[in-house]
Structure formats: C-alpha cells, structure tokens
Homo-oligomer: A and B are copies of this chain.
Amino acid sequence: MPKLIKSINDAILVQPGEASKLAQRSTVADELFPEREAAEAETKENAKAIDGLQDALWAGRSRALLVILQGIDTSGKDGTVRAVFNRCGPLGVAVTAFGRPSEEELAHDFLWRIHMAAPKKGMIGVFNRSQYEDVLVVKVRGLAPADVVERRYEQINAFERHLTENGVTVLKFMLNISKDEQKERLQARLDDLAKNWKFNADDLEDRKLWSDYQKAYEVALDRCSTEHAPWRVVPSDRKWQRNAIISAVVRRTLEDMNPKYPKTDWKPSDFKIT
C-alpha cells in the first residue's frame, strides 16, 4: 500500500504552486492498474477499509472528511460514489449534488450553499460538483462578470483553508476523461433505452465548449491546488482504474487522519444492568 499510494500521488497530484498541465495528463492509468480484476479487488478492499475507518471517525466525532468530485458530464461522479462509498452506506456518508442554484442560493454569496452542506463531525461528505462550478460553468458561459469570477479562486482557497483548520480534511478529485470517451458515453445514453432518461441535450452544448471547459479547469487546478487542499487529476476513461485510484486515496487519507474510538472514563464493572 505505501508504495502504491506514492505512485498514485506522483501520477495524479497537482503540486501546489506548479502548473497543472492538464492537456498533458493521461486519461488512462495502465501503469498504475494494468489489470482490471486486480483493480476491482483492490477497490473492494479499500471500500471495506473505508467503512471501518468511518466507524471510528463517527465514534470520535471530532473530525470530518469532505470529498469533492468534479468532472464534465459523463465523467463518472455517481459511479465513483457507488464504488467507493456504498459499503460505508448512507449512515456514514452524505452526498450533496450541486446543480443550477436556486433563487435563494443566488441571493447569497456563492459559498453559502456549499458551507451549508459541509459534513458534520464524524461524517464523510461527498460533493457531486461543488464551489468550482462557480469558476467553471459560470466562467465558460459568462454567467458572472469576469472580475467577480477572478476573485473567487482566492475566496475558495480561503474557504477550504477555513474548513481544514476546523477539522475537515478536503480531498479534491477531477475526473479526467478524453473527448472520445465522452462521445462514447453520451452515445450510450442514446443507444440504450434504459439510459435515455440520463441524456440531456444541454450536455451537447457543453461538449461544443470542450476546450473552453478544459481551459477553465486548468486555471482552477493551477490556482486552487494548495498545500491544505491539493487537487488530484484522476485518469477516468476506465472506470475500474478511476475507482481503484480514488478509493486508495480516500482510504490512505482516512488512515492518516487516524480516527480513534474515544476512551471511556469508566470501567465496565461500574455498571450492572438489571
């Protein structure tokens, strides 16, 4: 495990202060996980370990873990939640999906709804999309003035620093798929009747803006990969590689947080149950 997690981090971490070079990053990870079967077994083992670690996290109730999943349409955010967190289950994990903001959300600053959904102590929170939408779709589609968007990178950094200084460990994953892979996945939503309901014509509009989104992601990765909350770019063309990578990082992060069952200030013999 220690050696593997170092290889994974070397491959996917965006070093704070360095350029992310998104375009040069691979969307497959054959060198990390060459074999599907082994990768799937590893994911299962990691999911089991995460479940055990979350139990201790809950018992201690002093810290929380926030897992941010960002990626373009079809990049696999929901599938990641299932593979990594179903073993843990809804008792220990709260998922929040951030879609188009409501009127009330827009009436507040852009981090208000994000802060409301921050995981409480003892929990793992998973964000399906996040505060980064406000420097991604908002930037690409021109939904806010450029100078407002420009200020958000540092505001996000300050907010994430606040969370980490208050016991919330923040993990940020960008699910990186190729343009060809997205085409296949969108096509599958058209070809498979059971997937038709997932197809959204708007996704094609976003696809036309592919390079604008890539540029916006690159700026977000460059400016918001910090020591306290670095970005990781996950090769995601192969779902089983993506799941193996993310589950390994989540597991290792929880192991490093080292949650402990609280010590009791009594002896079992103090009590007699009648």
Contacts and interface: CB of A to CB of B under 8 A. Distances in A.
**How many of these chains are in the complex?**
2
A264 B197 contact: yes
A90 B261 contact: no
Interface string A239-274: 000000000000000000000011010101001011
Contacts of A187: 273
What interface size band does chain A fall in?
A: 35 or more
A93 interface: yes
Interface of A: 59, 78, 81-82, 85-91, 93-95, 126, 183, 186-187, 190-191, 194, 196-199, 201, 204, 207, 261-262, 264, 266, 268, 271, 273-274
B81 A261 contact: no
Contacts of A201: 266, 271
Contacts of A93: 90
Contacts of A190: 268, 271, 273
Contacts of A59: 197-198
A236 to B, nearest CB: 18
16 contacts: A59-B198, A81-B89, A82-B89, A86-B90, A88-B90, A89-B89, A90-B90, A90-B94, A90-B95, A90-B126, A190-B273, A191-B268, A194-B261, A196-B268, A201-B266, A204-B271
Nearest to A203: B273
Most buried by B among A81, A94, A207, A273: A273
Given A86-B89, A201-B266, A201-B271, 9 more contacts: A81-B89, A90-B90, A90-B95, A91-B95, A183-B273, A190-B268, A196-B264, A197-B261, A197-B262
A179 to B, nearest CB: 10
A90 B119 CA distance: 13
A95 to B, nearest CB: 5
A246 B126 CA distance: 28
